Amino acid sequence: MRITKEQILDHNQKQSKEHNESFSFLADQLTSQNIDVEVLVNQIASFEVSIPSWALGAGGTRFGRFPIGGEPGNLEEKIEDVGLIHALNRSSGAISLHIPWDTPGDAAAINKLAEDLNITFDAVNSNTFQDQPNQEYSYKFGSLSHTDAKVRKQAIDHNIEVIKYGEALGSKALTVWLADGSVFPGQQNFRKALERTYQSLEEICNALPDDWKVLIEYKPYEPNFYSMVIPDWGTSLLLANKLGVKAKTLVDLGHHLPNTNIEQIVSILLMEGKLGGFHFNDSKYGDDDLTTGSIKPYQLFLIFNELVEGTSGKDDLEQNISWMIDASHNVKDPLEDLLQSVEAIKKSYAQALLIDRQKLSEARQSNDPVGAQECLQEAFQTDIRPLLREARIRSGAAANPIGLFRDLNVRSELINERGSDTIATGL
């Protein structure tokens, strides 16, 4: 199923009166605050967030899974689904693949399909947290950190194979997330496990093309519940520093202990030139993988405040950091959920762009916490939805992506095409 230009124009036409009124009201308000609305709209329009190949079907938990129907049954259909999201919002023109869940068979054909839909390939993810059929050694007790060199070699080789797949698709980054760790005290020598991990990562880095980066993801617990070999940003940064310029840290918002100040982590990683990418999602308790911005929108805004402040402008924001979603959908339509996440991320970016940096800096300099908070709140409380809508309309996207998705009965169409009892690979 495709969404046509005409369908989008027709939809936008119907919204135009109401939209124009709200946009011009906001534009006047921002202009009177000396904000260049044209620059702002362009910045918002060009900001894109990649879609994970593993989040296009219903997820579920270990207690159950409830298929939504019409889920993509192979990589081609996944790319088509990302094409649908991108046609609706013009802000999701890339997919991040998880291998072997989504191993590209015929790279030329996959590239052609992606090109037709204006989709490119963001970071490729390796998977050494599950055993695959016919795999020689088990990852039950770890992969890159394993005590047995043969297991480590198998995991290293897998990562190198993933890089090769990525190269054929034009990807420029490898994301490594390790489930390695221990479930019980005494089970593992912390230092030796980390040392072995470093050596394995070094071999992977040696196989990395010059223009690639490796993103090292951290996580405090799960599936190992006593210790993880890379539990936090400090350990990831330590590895990245030892590994050199190609290695960077990936921040998955769900991979922190409760109440962690993620925005401060982001700011320090940026300062060190080691912020490589994000896995956006939201959570109430742990790695809940919920819709970004659904639980802690203020935290998301504060993260973007640091991003805007810590980068010298739009180019830095776009070029050096991989913006990706990592989510799982149990009760929502995955495509609607992803549209909501992208919108929330762009909204936080836009709000962070509104912050009066001069005023904020003065408030900080004169130790005026009230003034500083007012600066942040002024931006955060501004209803900038008309700006996002304007950016979408100008990019050829739908004024209201979820509205159009529903009006066109996209999910029913997908169910007609693919069936109602479907399973997509992934989380």
> Please, which residue, 81 or 390, has the CB nearer to ligand LRH?
81
- The interface partner of residue 19, options being Mn ion, ligand LRH, none and the CB cut-off 5 to 8 Å by kind, is none
How many other CB atoms are found less than 10 A from the CB of residue 38? 9
> Please, which residue, 122 or 326, has the CB nearer to Mn ion?
326
Instruction: State the Cα–Cα distance between residues 201 and 82, nearest whole angstrom.
Output: 31
Instruction: State the Cα–Cα distance between residues 308 and 354, nearest whole angstrom.
Output: 10
Q: Please give the residue whose beta carbon sits closest to ligand LRH in the complex.
A: 177
- The interface partner of residue 336, options being ligand LRH, Mn ion, none and the CB cut-off 5 to 8 Å by kind, is none
Spatial CB neighbours of 256, under 8 Å, sequence gap ≥ 6: 220, 232, 262, 265
For position 122 contacting Mn ion by CB under 5 A, the verdict is no
Applying CB under 5 A, the span of 39-47, 274-282, 344-352, 410-418 interacting with Mn ion comes to: 274-282
Minimum distance, C-beta of residue 52 to ligand LRH, in the bound complex (Å): 8
- The owner of tokens 């776009």 is 318
Q: Please tell me the count of residues contacting Mn ion according to CB under 5 A.
A: 4
Minimum distance, C-beta of residue 328 to ligand LRH, in the bound complex (Å): 8
Minimum distance, C-beta of residue 139 to Mn ion, in the bound complex (Å): 17
Instruction: State the Cα–Cα distance between residues 189 and 244, nearest whole angstrom.
Output: 25
Tokens of 245: 């310029």
Among 81, 102, 287, 306, binds Mn ion (CB under 5 A): 287
> Please, which residue, 86 or 256, has the CB nearer to ligand LRH?
256
Strands 181-182 and 247-252: unpaired
> Please, which residue, 125 or 267, has the CB nearer to Mn ion?
125
Minimum distance, C-beta of residue 225 to ligand LRH, in the bound complex (Å): 13
In angstroms, how far is CA 157 from the centroid of its own chain? Answer: 25
Applying CB under 5 A, the span of 115-123, 302-310, 325-333, 363-371 interacting with Mn ion comes to: 325-333
3 state SS for the chain? CCCCHHHHHHHHHHHHHHHHHHHHHHHHHHHHCCCCHHHHHHHHHCCCCEEEHHHCCECCECCECCCCCCCCCCHHHHHHHHHHHHHHHCCCCEEECECCCCCCCCHHHHHHHHHHCCCEECCEECCCCCCCCCCCCCCCCCCCCCCCHHHHHHHHHHHHHHHHHHHHHCCCEEEEECCCEECCCCCCCHHHHHHHHHHHHHHHHHCCCCCCEEEEECCCCCCCCCEECCCCHHHHHHHHHHHCCCEEEEEECCCCCCCCCHHHHHHHHHHCCCEEEEEECECCCCCCCECCCCCCHHHHHHHHHHHHHHCCCHHHHHHCCEEEECCCECCCCHHHHHHHHHHHHHHHHHHHHHCCHHHHHHHHHCCCHHHHHHHHHHHHCCCCHHHHHHHHHHHCCCCCHHHHHHHCCHHHHHHHHHCCCCCCCCC
- The interface partner of residue 125, options being ligand LRH, Mn ion, none and the CB cut-off 5 to 8 Å by kind, is ligand LRH
Applying CB under 5 A, the span of 63-71, 233-241, 246-254, 259-267 interacting with Mn ion comes to: 246-254
> Please, which residue, 104 or 426, has the CB nearer to ligand LRH?
426
- The interface partner of residue 349, options being Mn ion, ligand LRH, none and the CB cut-off 5 to 8 Å by kind, is none
Minimum distance, C-beta of residue 425 to ligand LRH, in the bound complex (Å): 11
> Please, which residue, 102 or 287, has the CB nearer to Mn ion?
287
For position 81 contacting Mn ion by CB under 5 A, the verdict is no
Minimum distance, C-beta of residue 101 to ligand LRH, in the bound complex (Å): 9
Minimum distance, C-beta of residue 179 to ligand LRH, in the bound complex (Å): 7
> Please, which residue, 92 or 400, has the CB nearer to ligand LRH?
92
Residues interacting with ligand LRH, by CB under 6 A? 54, 125, 177, 217, 219, 252, 279, 287, 326, 427
Minimum distance, C-beta of residue 346 to ligand LRH, in the bound complex (Å): 22
For position 279 contacting Mn ion by CB under 5 A, the verdict is yes
Minimum distance, C-beta of residue 324 to Mn ion, in the bound complex (Å): 8
> Please, which residue, 129 or 184, has the CB nearer to ligand LRH?
129
Give me the residues paired with residue 64 across strands: 61
- The interface partner of residue 427, options being Mn ion, ligand LRH, none and the CB cut-off 5 to 8 Å by kind, is ligand LRH
For position 326 contacting Mn ion by CB under 5 A, the verdict is yes
Among 71, 77, 81, 252, binds Mn ion (CB under 5 A): 252
Minimum distance, C-beta of residue 33 to Mn ion, in the bound complex (Å): 37
Chain contacts with Mn ion (rule: CB under 5 A): 252, 279, 287, 326
